[in-house]
Structure 1
Amino acid sequence: MKYYIYLSLLVGSILVVNQHTIAQASDSQTEQFQNRIVDSIFSETLNESRDFWVRLPDNYKPGNDEKYAVIYLMDGFSLESTLEAVYSNYWGHYLPHMILVGISNRSNRTRDLTTSQVKMRRGSAMDSETGGAETFTKFMEEELIPYIDSKYPTMAYRTLIGHSYAGLFTINMLVNHKHLFQNYIAIDPSLDWDDQKLLKEAKEKLSKESYEGKSLYVSLAAEQLHMWNEEITMENIMDDSSEFTLFARSIIEFSNYAKSQKQNGLNFSWKVYHEDLHGTVPLPSIRDGLIFLFEWYQFKSPQKYNNPETPLEELVSLLKKQEQIYTEQFGVPTAPMIDEMLNGYGYMNMQMGQPEKAFMFFEMNIKYNPTSANAYDSMAEYYESQNDKENALKYLNKAYEISGDDYYKERIEALNKK
């Protein structure tokens, strides 16, 4: 399939326009994720049904051997469009293809996400159950995650995202159940809960336990640090001892402490969002958090791939190093680039008159995506460019065999007439 490639040397990204699938591309612009499933399971642990949605990557194909990392999003139906906006804009260079799972917390939210029982909060009686985080964790560990793993092509590389009470839940998951997830994003977490009970427990564990291989990103919305006192700023908030600043002070105290505990191996970062409120901070937090958590995924020396002067041998070496990084992080053999990028660089090098490099990228795409009709079609175009009709037909026939798409049949017929 013919691609036209435009490169940005600053980020090494590739825009690919496929004329055969232009109608599909238009559809995907209005609905970024074509593979969205809404599901539910009855939980014996919770004694109730729990709804969730699953979004499969754009390159997902039933029967394909490829496995995917998974993002679990608390308050999934409320924050679905937020995660979708970030992920759809950053996969490729910044993020791998992943399976997204959004868990409903529309009912019994306070019960399920808070880490201890309280009767009073901020001077008022609680009007809902509290302290069920451990029970909800059991539901996730023993029911939801096994269900997702049994039904979808997942790898055991998971990221958990939570906001507010769900941010409290996320930090509790790291502190007390760190075997379940590799990555955590805690957005404006309610660490003031129950007189900072989890904060105190977290400080104790962060000082003594190992968190090697774990990453945590924490955010704080600082537009309104105090409910009514505009004189409270980030510079003087820790001098205030009122209930009105306890929420923000708890996040700051936790973050400063976590940053100081270098010996535990936790990959930690946090950020204050001065222009955001509690309700607006999820969007920038998810963006910055995912980029931080997957910093290792971003290409090393992207300019080398774009530079026509880079020798083939150096490109091969760079790809091997990238593959090694991905494989070490994910724990399973992983291609050094997603299929769209391998394909795109193949066409780019064809256009630049570098057939050996083009062949290398197309060949690697077939190696890692042996059930992709598009990968074989791209190799067929390579052979057409080299006036090798026999091999072009060989790869077109393979593309047609895999997909049954009449497009490839028409391409075969047209090539046979030449």
Structure 2
Amino acid sequence: MKFYTIILVLLTFLCNRILAQNADKGYLYKIGIKDSVYSEILDENRDIWVHLPNGGKLNPNLKYPVVYILDGGVQLSALVAVYEYYWGNYLPKMILVGVSNQYNRTRDLTTSDIGNPNMKSGGAKHFAEFMEKELIPFVERKYPVTNYRTLIGHSYGGLFTINMLVNHPQSFRNYIAIDPSLDWDNQKFMNEAITRLKTQGFAGKSLFVSLASPLDRENENATIEEVLGNNSESSLVSRSKLLFIKAAEQVKENNHLNFLWKYYPDDIHATVPLPSILEGMRWLFDWYQLKDANVYNNPETLPEVLEKHITERAEVLSKHFGYPVPPADEEMLNMGGYMFLQTGQPEKAKLFFGLQVKYYPWSVNAFDSMADFYISQNDSKRAEESLRKAYELSGDIAFKKKIEQLKK
């Protein structure tokens, strides 16, 4: 059986299991556990919604990358949809945090006060301080997250996202700014951001910016070149984004910012979040995707060659995350081991079960599966050793009974 077939079978099984775990009476599917954090900086409680991998059944030995999405009450559902379809082969398991901006949205997400007595604005500095000093520490205390963080924002949230990149780059690794409102306050922040792009270094940072249609509210056929070449009020919103994009493209070789942008001519401001999140997340985690599939697919691939590729994958993942990371989820290694065993490739089965033990040494299932392999190979001694380890980890008497059966 091909390795990708193994992955497909496993992912289908896992997705169905997770959907069942998330199901509740009267609902097909529920997302995001509601939580809240009191902010002394903002002098208020702020709601958040936390979406956990594995239907919330987390391994206490593991921590996960985390994605924060602004306007979480609206946008978290789009992020969860993308994540649930793409985790495994395209995205790692992650914890997703939707941050509420239902109240005081303009105040919190805009970068300067425009002096409107009917609308508070310009509080981005305080909201950034809240995120850095209160929200992120709260999430890290309560949930098993790593310091590999991604920030996503739409409209004013996109403005705030770029603000975090240029003024608070220590807080996040990745940024998705969806149709950002860079025209705010007569492009005041846009000009400041362009200056910072030209004068600061952004090595290790990645930014995806999306742009929605129409480019000109009075001319639906306007092109990007036409918008950049005029100063009309009707194209100010799009022109502001394009000027920032143009500057980012020009200096990315010098400031080392990993940058990509995309125009969505068939999406308007309200619909562009979903495709932006999909393409932005896939691009940000392009390095996570399994490479050289033919090595895994080919039954003639030697186990040592397969092991070399798997080890190299672990090195790539660890380099990008900045901390040691297994080459695959435990479930995938386990399922791969059994699939290889059932298809008459015992050396590859041993390799996968061995990798499961190596990267998940606390796992009872890893040692139990290793024992199954040795039993299939009539190696009772090593099977007993693995079962004893499973018993030590779990205290489950069933493993003692299994050992007794081996000795008969």
Which residue is 1:214 aligned to? 205
Which residue is 2:65 aligned to? 69
Do the aligned partners of 2:42 and 2:130 also contact (CA within 8 Å) in 1?
yes
Distance in 2 separating the partners of 1:234 and 1:405: 66
Do the aligned partners of 2:388 and 2:400 also contact (CA within 8 Å) in 1?
no
Distance in 2 separating the partners of 1:181 and 1:349: 40
1:7-406 pair list within 5 angstroms = 7-8=3-4, 13-16=7-10, 24=17, 27-28=20-21, 30=23, 36-58=32-54, 64-119=60-115, 127-222=118-213, 224-261=214-251, 262-388=253-379, 391-392=382-383, 395=386, 399=390
Distance in 2 separating the partners of 1:33 and 1:375: 30
Distance in 1 separating the partners of 2:325 and 2:4: 25
Residue 343 of structure 1, CA deviation: 1.9
Residue 145 of structure 1, CA deviation: 0.6
Letter in 1 for 2:161: T
| CA 355–101 in structure 1, closer or farther in 2 if over 3 Å, else same | same
Aligned-partner SS, 2:107: helix
Residue 73 of structure 1, CA deviation: 0.8
Do the aligned partners of 1:214 and 1:266 also contact (CA within 8 Å) in 2?
yes
Greater displacement, 296-305 / 194-203: 296-305
Distance in 2 separating the partners of 1:7 and 1:242: 55
Distance in 2 separating the partners of 1:15 and 1:62: 22
Aligned-partner SS, 2:8: strand
Residue 138 of structure 1, CA deviation: 0.3
Distance in 1 separating the partners of 2:365 and 2:30: 18
Residue 372 of structure 1, CA deviation: 2.8
Distance in 2 separating the partners of 1:114 and 1:357: 55
| CA 414–93 in structure 1, closer or farther in 2 if over 3 Å, else same | farther
Distance in 2 separating the partners of 1:242 and 1:298: 43
Aligned-partner SS, 2:163: helix
Q: Aligned-pair RMSD on alpha carbons? A: 3.1
Letter in 2 for 1:183: N
Do the aligned partners of 1:70 and 1:157 also contact (CA within 8 Å) in 2?
yes
Letter in 1 for 2:348: K
Per-residue CA distance 1:341-395 (angstroms, 9 max, x = gap): 2223222322332111111111111222233333333323323432445655664
TM-score, normalization by structure 1: 0.87
Aligned-partner SS, 1:77: helix
| CA 128–6 in structure 1, closer or farther in 2 if over 3 Å, else same | farther
Per-residue CA distance 1:11-67 (angstroms, 9 max, x = gap): x94322899x99845504758998953211110000000011222221876663322
| CA 281–410 in structure 1, closer or farther in 2 if over 3 Å, else same | farther
Do the aligned partners of 1:35 and 1:58 also contact (CA within 8 Å) in 2?
no
Residue 99 of structure 1, CA deviation: 1.4
Letter in 1 for 2:89: H
Do the aligned partners of 2:11 and 2:88 also contact (CA within 8 Å) in 1?
no
Distance in 1 separating the partners of 2:55 and 2:143: 14
Higher helix share: 2
Aligned pairs, how many? 404
Do the aligned partners of 1:33 and 1:55 also contact (CA within 8 Å) in 2?
no
Distance in 1 separating the partners of 2:16 and 2:261: 42
Which residue is 1:123 aligned to? none
Letter in 2 for 1:257: A
Greater displacement, 271-280 / 31-40: 31-40
Residue 334 of structure 1, CA deviation: 1.1
Higher strand share: 1
Distance in 1 separating the partners of 2:120 and 2:142: 32
Residue 235 of structure 1, CA deviation: 4.3
Residue 322 of structure 1, CA deviation: 1.3
What is the percent sequence identity of the aligned residues?
Answer: 49
Per-residue CA distance 1:77-97 (angstroms, 9 max, x = gap): 211110111001111111111
The gaps in structure 2 that reach 5 residues or longer are none
Residue 317 of structure 1, CA deviation: 1.4
Letter in 2 for 1:207: K
